[in-house]
A and B are shown apart, each in its own frame.
Chain A
Amino acid sequence: MTSGIVVRKGDWLSATVDGELVMMNAETGNYITISRVGGRIWEMIEQSMTVDQICSRLVDEFDVAPEVCRADVQRFLDEMVDNKAITIEESPPE
């Protein structure tokens, strides 16, 4: 869902340790550790953002080919959905 809107979900506490973001869900107790790039995505989606917008920003900020970036972002977002940290909603029709 490349044009989906990524929205944070749940009450997460976090801290950056050794370059990685340690996150704990205050409601369920689940915790995950995400990489520096994942941490940057988490920071970006503090305000809801489409998948396209996330990829576009990362390509600007990091030395990565657009198609590699998209595949990595999709994989990351899928894991975050599995961990109930985000939802991806359909964009409203224009």
Chain B
Amino acid sequence: MVTDHSHLHGWTPVAFLADPEPRIVWADLRGQRFDQPFFDHIASKRHVDAGHLATEVTDLSALHALDATPSLDPTLIVAQSARCGSTLLVRLLATMDGVVTVSEPEILSKLFLHGLRNPESAATHDVLREIVRGFGRLRFGDEKIYVLKLSSSMTRFLPQFRRAFPHSPMVWLQRSPIEIVESEMRSPGAWIGFDPQGGGDLAALVLKKTTVTFLAARAHVTDDMLVLDHRDLPDSVWTTLAPWLGLSLSRTDISRMEQCASYDSKSGEPFVRRQRLAMPNAVHDIVRQILNPIHDELGRRRDKRKPLQESGAIG
């Protein structure tokens, strides 16, 4: 018996359930622009604004059935090292008309965690593609550009994203490793998995997670990807990224980006000067021996980039 999923047209896949069998949670976000710094805040905002959030759980066949709905493939996939200004980069792009931005959707992390248990599964590839396109539905009709920002932990899975979207350009955004480590130690992100009550070593945990990210970047940031650095933001968005993508920006577009950049990208408040943490020598040693060489090697590609059109990556 074929299930009719047509009533879910315009709904968005928001969560992946692995047990007892793989299922998708859909949320009715129709009429809701994707304009929050992080995708998972969108459903929360809708829930607060509307007083409820309509959801439905289906098996994976609904993804495939609804994939024929007009949708965008990502115009740009942003991969990043964490604490590197990726939220700012995406907010600047979002100031342009017709831009949909989806940042670090947790559903993808859950998909890959499940997928690791079934690494040979071709279904993971199809499900990945259909979930990502699910975010890119033409829900308002004015969407032209779709920017997907991955969490730093997704760097390990860039090959899977590349296979799912071979024509979607990718950019790697990074930052000086000691600055990443200092930022994470000052305010650890949830992805670090640090339990303040657990008595663990935060520095060791941050170093290990950051090492995994940079090892993954060394393996998977390929020559056809644009490499940008935190220290070049925000200007590199309009001087480098937009031209590389073939986007023609007006003076008004750039002014809007400059205005947006004058605020802290997460809170919307003006930039606040923060006190830097002093790092132990042992942390500096590991950063110098392991992380800096990878960061520097990737950084050398910043000067070797070709415009996408010249590289043949887009038509």
Contacts and interface: CB of A to CB of B under 8 A. Distances in A.
B218 A13 contact: yes
Interface string A44-77: 0000000000000000000000000000000000
A15 B215 contact: yes
A91 interface: no
Contacts, number: 52
Interface string B203-227: 1100110011001101110000000
Nearest to B283: A18
A28 B118 CA distance: 10
A26 B218 CA distance: 10
A16 B204 CA distance: 11
Contact of B208 (A13, A20, A29): A20
B204 A24 contact: no
A17 B286 contact: yes
Interface in A1-34: 13-18, 20, 22, 24, 26-31, 33
Nearest to B210: A17
B246 interface: no
Most buried by B among A13, A14, A17, A28: A17
B157 interface: yes
- Chain A interface bracket (under 10, 10 to 19, 20 to 34, 35 or more): 10 to 19
Contacts of B160: 29
Contacts of B201: 18
B208 A33 contact: yes
Given A13-B218, A17-B207, A18-B201, 8 more contacts: A15-B290, A18-B203, A18-B207, A22-B212, A24-B156, A24-B212, A24-B215, A24-B219
26 contacts: A13-B218, A13-B219, A15-B290, A17-B204, A17-B208, A17-B211, A17-B290, A18-B201, A18-B204, A18-B207, A18-B208, A18-B282, A20-B204, A22-B208, A22-B211, A24-B156, A24-B215, A24-B216, A24-B219, A29-B116, A29-B156, A29-B157, A29-B160, A30-B156, A31-B156, A33-B208
Contacts of B112: 29
Interface in B177-236: 201, 203-204, 207-208, 211-212, 215-216, 218-220
Interface of A: 13-18, 20, 22, 24, 26-31, 33, 84
Contacts of A18: 201, 203-204, 207-208, 282, 286
Nearest to B290: A15
Contacts of A33: 208
A14 B119 CA distance: 20
Contacts of A28: 116, 119
B248 to A, nearest CB: 36
Nearest to A20: B208
Contacts of B159: 27
Contacts of B215: 13-15, 22, 24
A30 B218 contact: no
A59 to B, nearest CB: 29
A14 B279 CA distance: 24
